[in-house]
Amino acid sequence: MKAFIGLVKKDLSLMKFWYIVWLAVFIIGMAGVYILSVYLSEPLIPVPFLMMAAGFHMFLAPISLLYTLNLEGKTQLWLYNPQSSLKLLLSKLSTAAIIQLIAQLIISLYALFIMQALVKAGKIASFGNFLPIKQGIFMQLGIFSTAMYISIWFIFLWTVYHSLGKYPAIRHFRWLAVVLVWFAWSLLEELLVKTKILTNEWFSLDLNVHIEPNLKYEDGWNIIYTDVSLPIIPILLYAALAIILFLLASRLLDRKVEV
């Protein structure tokens, strides 16, 4: 465990530059949008920014993870690391998860600040009129889960790409293999959807998690909630797929990947 914590600290150090850049840009954006709303006396201006920021943050962990993978690959130091490939990749995934959680916490605090401003401006009666706690929690869980799922795909495709570098005959065409892997999975996923395996309604959990913002300012700000069924079986299948891809990536890496 001590060795793993050391790996996480090292990866956090590698991601520090990327994280600081993101934090600076996001804070400037939050401050700028809020100042603009005060200057124009329009407290609703930060709302679209908040919604877009929440959506874009699904790609924060994947991009930061890819950044560190490429950075680590250039140094080649992990080829000589005594730790297993599984631990090396798990450390990077854990580090990306930590950064993702911190980012989503900052967004949540900003959302609370904006909701308080909307209450004071009389645009909403209470926080519940804008985003009830249950909807907010499931939105954050959905963003985090999606970010981790995309991150694992990035890890897998990255290891596929670089593991093929050992074969001179296809070294310059390995990008095509990555495209084919993704294309094959997309076809399989579409087939599973058509067979309703990924849209199973027998085991589902009904939650109000869909949020549809109305951006017509003249009508006021409304958040419309629609009951959306969260199927348990597809969620478990995607989770199983993520685990399989991660294990395959660690086998492909096996401390022999050269960039």
The per-residue pLDDT for range 72-110, each reduced to its tens digit, is 766 555 555 666 778 888 989 999 999 999 999 998 888
Residue 33 placed within a domain = yes
The per-residue pLDDT for range 7-18, each reduced to its tens digit, is 888 888 888 887
pLDDT category of residue 2 using cuts at 50, 70 and 90: confident
Residue 239 placed within a domain = yes
Residue 259 placed within a domain = no
Residue 34 placed within a domain = yes
pLDDT above 80: residue 213: no
Residue 7 placed within a domain = yes
Residue 63 placed within a domain = yes
Q: Could you give the number of structural domains in the chain?
A: 1
Residue 37 placed within a domain = yes
pTM comes to: 0.83
Of the two residues 139 and 238, the one the predictor is more confident about is 238
Residue 220 placed within a domain = yes
Q: What is the pLDDT of residue 146?
A: 92
- Concatenating the DSSP letter of every residue in 28-93 gives HHHHHHHHHHHHTT-TTTHHHHHHHHHHHGGGHHHHHHHHHHHHHHHH-GGGG-SS-HHHHHHHHH
Q: What is the pLDDT of residue 48?
A: 79
The per-residue pLDDT for range 135-154, each reduced to its tens digit, is 778 788 888 999 999 999 99
Give residues with Cβ within 8 angstroms of 259, minimum separation 6: 70, 73, 74, 76, 162, 165
**Residue count (the chain):** 259
Domain span at residue 185? 2-253
Instruction: Give the CB-side neighbour count of residue 116, counting CA atoms within 13 A.
Output: 7
Q: What is the pLDDT of residue 246?
A: 94
